[in-house]
Amino acid sequence: MMNHTGNDANESMILIDLNRPEMDDMHLQMRRACHDLNAPLRAVHGFAEIVQRREAAALSEKGAAYLNRMLAATEHMEQVVSGLHHYARMASHSLQPTPLLIEGVIERLCRAHFFTELKAGQLSYQGDASLQWVSDEIVLQQLLLALIHNGLCFVAADAVPQVLLRWAKQGDKLLLTVSDHGIGIEAEYCQQVFDLFVRLHSREKYAGAGTGLAIVASAVRQLSGELSIDSTPEVGTSVRIILPLLVVAPE
């Protein structure tokens, strides 16, 4: 299965347009809006939890159900605002080109965020251990973090996640490929899943705020790269990223 989704030369790869007008966001305003939304959300959630702890016995069955729905709704909104803030922060990040050992970047990322999956064999990575590349480590890690997270989470209920991250030099570019055995995406949705807050499944089935792949698209655009996807429902997905060298600004 992994060979199907991991074929770098696969002609079914769909190139993602990173320069559509609707992707030009006002990132500073978004960050300010998130900051303003967080305080009242935390207050509502906090007071609802107090009511649940201290007044639960006084609530009717219907009242308790309403309170649980309120808590679930505020938790979801906090997740959405947090995802939006993360997206806006990454999109407005000032690039810091640095010579990086790619294997070191990936190893640090995987051990920090996916140690359990690494030990369980659900996540693996392979590539040229000596390959160095000039890029921004924060942006590079964030786009890979989102792709790996998606590959591990969007699997059938009875399936064991399998994610493979590969890297190689392709001419004068860096090629990164993240392949999985997940639920896959219909071709008609492959472009729009990289838009902000686009969800193809209910929150009850797959948790998340719908910001992960938008962060990937924003990060690839920041790095002046190319993003493409090959996905087959019930088989898996392969996302390919091609990045140029970033220019180190003179001191």
Is the separation of the CB atoms in 226 and 15 below 8 Å? Answer: yes
Kind and range of the H or E run holding 103: helix 102-113
pTM for this predicted structure:
0.72
Token pair for residue 147? Answer: 């792709």
Kind and range of the H or E run holding 115: helix 115-120
Domain 2-18+96-243 homologous superfamily, CATH:
Histidine kinase-like ATPase, C-terminal domain (3.30.565.10)
Is the separation of the CB atoms in 237 and 106 below 8 Å? Answer: no
- DSSP secondary structure letter of residue 205: T
Is the separation of the CB atoms in 118 and 165 below 8 Å? Answer: no
3-state SS, residue 233: coil
Q: Backbone phi, then psi, for 177, in 5-degree steps?
A: -135, 130
Token pair for residue 44? Answer: 């509502």
Q: Where are the domains of the chain?
A: 2-18+96-243, 27-91
82 to each of 25, 37, 72, 113, how far by Cα in Å? Answer: 17, 10, 15, 18
Radius of gyration of the chain (CA): 20
Which of 229, 106, 107 lies closest to 242 in space, CA to CA? 229
Kind and range of the H or E run holding 170: strand 163-170
- The one-digit pLDDT tens for each residue of the chain (251 residues) are 455 444 555 567 888 777 665 555 556 666 667 677 778 888 888 888 999 999 888 999 999 999 988 888 888 777 777 767 777 777 777 888 999 999 999 999 999 999 999 999 999 999 999 999 999 999 999 999 999 999 999 998 889 999 999 999 999 999 999 999 999 999 998 988 888 777 777 766 777 667 789 889 989 999 999 999 999 999 999 999 999 988 655 44
Pairwise CA distance, residues 40 & 33, whole Å: 12
Q: What is the dihedral of CA 111, 115, 119, 123, to 10 degrees?
A: -80
